Structure 1
């Protein structure tokens, strides 16, 4: 790529025969959107919701700094740095991403760095340029200056600084985690790329559209070489990726997983997996203490963008728009992973010594409730029950009824034991439950992907098959791949290969 890594430029030739019109239209739309949000950035700052900081220290990367903090923010609160994608701005990311909601709810400061066309033709962060994305250099150094300013301004906890970013901002996020593991306690790479994936604009397209074909150790070496001699703790890393992303191919998420699990010295086999809303599969990779070190969120059917879920629920956030895709609130689940909520344990469990409860089972369902039971754990003072990774109960006994649910809807549950000191142990394997009613027949259908589509229970996109309603990825659209689908509501089906 020669002008704008991560956002597909008009001259991309490899897609010309298949998606020429769509690719050109998409780029024009993104450029228009980028111009619009850049024009609106000053308005947002003037509205006193997002404020520009004109002097924050050393700025070798020529970036602008915007910040937001809820009223009455106490000393010792965390800081979250959020990096926009190409053609976007700090104001745009602030408006759509949902991070403001959780800053207000959980209490932390936000920093939004902003690049411009003077740095890159389409306002992309330079994740591919060693002169700008290395420790002590360019844009990376400017971001760390912003962190220092925010920590001093808000008397924040310097041990709880986190960074997240979309697309090119995601690539820069990975670079920052590698360059400054002594600054960032955790990161979230959304539709982004491995740390130090490319060293030139020309090489950037290789990262976006294909695999580096490197081993986990070789990918990990790119991180270790970014700050030679570092021996401290590594950041905990969340990775978000749409399975139908044709701008930053899904292989990047796999390589990010390989890279950071290798850095942590853990394997590439997930410690646990579970289903989350929006057709999302969460794979958790625990460290030696049993706490999640790396989490991989793969979203069936989602293209290139940041996952949001507009709504008023605690687990909902953001507004949909260009490159803000209505699937699941990534900011909420990332915040849980980092422990920003101050109470809940992130999906995968805490570092307590208690084992995961066994025998988790659904003991009953109604239109609006799910009842669960499990085997008691010796030494447990209480338990935490999670629905889709979010805590919904803390019973003292080995049973719980979750209420206020939607009829004819599928949910995923896990449970963890808590000892008398409050330490949360390992999280159990997930169990699925579907509430009754809602117009769903509860009937199951086993057929090839081709037949499921023909029967109106699934649909296709990009050569893949997705269940209607849930949008769960069923694999290639052909007569050879077979799945069982359970109907849980009107025109709503979920994969039920494990039993119906």
Structure 2
């Protein structure tokens, strides 16, 4: 939502209610100061100060769990107005699932220099289109993180709340070649408004467009694109008066049209927190679009604090207790190892999943049989890599010295997979990624770092290593040829 609308709503009501303008979801938080040079791979939330030309004048923050394997997924999470990256990291629940299921998270952050209320500019065609402004800056963050972590480019995802949700929809339209899937939380359809003056109309009322007209806005964002489209999850509260529920319907119309499917749900089910999930399958029967309608929820991000497997997040101003949206979004994307979507056979997860052997190029697994199963799907880092009719499987053609997370799901007679097992980790034998511990002077001399202005920086990641002398020692890990990251806490 643009700044003038938020100011008007601020004047209309008391301070607590005023934040229900598009600044919603969004407690005022001072942005986290740049972190000291600690490796993000050790579970540190930190700022990355160099990630490209940054035409959108954004800041980049990131988080990754300890011992993140190569080829892990990458999630981009965008905050809403008046919010910061650290606030979204704290409340949204994404850290829990990054730790649990093994993926990195990038948190773009805008500021009052870009917008008086620190909103992402989802309504500005000079900032939210392919290779322009803020959209281009986010793409540069993705490229930087992929190089740093060795992330799987086929599993890069984007999500956002409110203004961040509007920008998420734009990014999915701008870069369908970058993002495999996305989630728009209390947000707007892609390219709903192209000027600030048109933003209020999108927020508060129907635009009276057909599904094809909505779909054309996506197709026109990257003319000539012929590849696969991102899968899209949509979250909308039925009592939202800041981004009214019609936006959820319009997002559904937009992305089902892009996928070439109708607007009648393939399946529906009731979830916790008064949530109705409606799934729209593609022509192969795989979920392409999901609409999560949360009964009675106003404007904000749905969280469900607690220690349960399907709980996450913490409450705050416009972080609303109902359901853990991050959990269901991650499952829809397949980050839990299930492959994503719905259509479960209802079969339980196989028990006793065990790594029975490893070589420098392969991993062997076994598990206990499940009654009613006709076969088993095997997932590596969340992606299906094969199936077996017995209770064992060997994955081959892998690089040496690399860790992977495997899970197994039983498949019923209808061909639908059941609940996946808890992931197990296997590491191929052979040489692991190389690490080097030395003083800063020798790291530079060896070509693993460079110095500028008396300070040392890791080649590739540009992470600060401190003064350029022999008194400062660090460990550098080479995650890809010529790309080094700090690994002081363990390699």
TM-score w.r.t. the length of structure 1 is: 0.67
Q: What is the distance in 2 between the residues matched to 1:297 and 1:35?
A: 24
Name the residue aligned to 1:21: 13
Structure 2 residue 172 is matched with structure 1 residue 177: yes
Q: Figure out how many residues of one structure are paired with residues of the other and give that number.
A: 363
Match of 1:271 among 266, 280, 286: 266
Instruction: Please say if residues 10 and 24 of structure 1, whose CA atoms lie closer than 8 Å, have aligned partners that are also in contact.
Output: no
1:287-298 aligned within 5 A = 287-298=282-293
CA distances 1:24-82 after superposition (whole Å, capped 9, x unpaired): 84239997996841x25228879973100000112000000000011100000000000
Q: Aligned equivalents of 2:2 and 2:271: distance in 1?
A: 38
Map of 1:418 onto structure 2: 411
* Partner Cα separation in structure 1 for residue 415 and residue 48 of structure 2: 40
Pairing 1:481-496 to 2, within 5 Å after superposition: none
**Offset, 1:339:** 0.6
Q: Is the 8 A contact 1:10 1:27 kept in 2?
A: no
Q: Which residue of 1 is the match for residue 325 of structure 2?
A: 330
SS in structure 2 of the partner of residue 219 of structure 1: helix
Q: Structure 2: how far apart are the matches of 1:28 and 1:180?
A: 30
What does 1:123-272 align with in structure 2 at a 5 Å threshold? Answer: 123-272=118-267
Q: Is the 8 Å Cα contact of residues 286 and 348 (structure 1) preserved in structure 2? A: no
Structure 2 residues without counterparts, runs of 5 or longer: 348-370, 378-388, 390-408, 419-491
Q: How does 1:28-107 map to 2 (within 5 A)?
A: 36-37=28-29, 39-42=30-33, 49-107=44-102
1:11 aligns with 2:4: no
Which structure has the higher relative contact order (CA within 8 Å, separation 6+)?
2
Alignment CA distance shift 1:243-1:57 (3 Å): same
Kindly indicate whether the alpha-carbon contact (under 8 Å) linking 1:290 and 1:426 is maintained by their aligned counterparts in 2: no
- SS, match of residue 416 in structure 2: strand
Question: Once the 2 structures are TM-superposed, how far is the Cα of residue 180 of structure 1 from its aligned partner?
Answer: 0.2
2:342 corresponds to:
348
Classify 1:235/1:303 alpha carbon distance in 2 versus 1 (closer, same or farther; 3 Å).
same
Counterpart residue number, 2:278: 283
Measure how far apart 1:23 and its partner are: 7.7
Cα distance in 1, alignment partners of residues 35 and 122 from structure 2: 27
C-alpha separation between the residues in 1 aligned to 2:324 and 2:123? 28
Cα distance in structure 1, aligned partners of 2:194 and 2:21: 28
Q: Distance in 1 between matches of 2:26 and 2:268?
A: 36
- Relative to structure 1, the CA distance from residue 32 to residue 271 in structure 2 (aligned partners, 3 Å threshold; closer, same or farther) is closer
Q: 1:315 to 1:125 in 2, by over 3 A?
A: same
CA contact (8 A) 1:417 1:424 kept: no
Task: Tell me by how many angstroms 1:21 deviates.
Answer: 2.8
CA contact (8 A) 2:6 2:22 kept: no
Which aligned pairs between 1:360-399 and structure 2 lie closer than 5 A? 380-381=374-375
Instruction: Write the distance in 1 (CA, Å) between the matches of 2:23 and 2:267.
Output: 40
On the 8 A contact 2:2/2:119 being kept in 1, the answer is: no
Q: Pick closer, same or farther for the CA change 1:180–1:347 going to 2, 3 Å.
A: closer
- What is the CA–CA distance in structure 2 between the aligned matches of 1:262 and 1:35, rounded to whole Å? 35
- CA deviation after TM superposition for structure 1 residue 12, in Å: 4.8
Shift of 1:347: 4.3
- For residue 11 of structure 1, give the secondary structure of its aligned residue in structure 2: helix
Q: Give the TM-score taking structure 2 as reference length.
A: 0.69
What is the Cα deviation at residue 345 of structure 1?
4.9
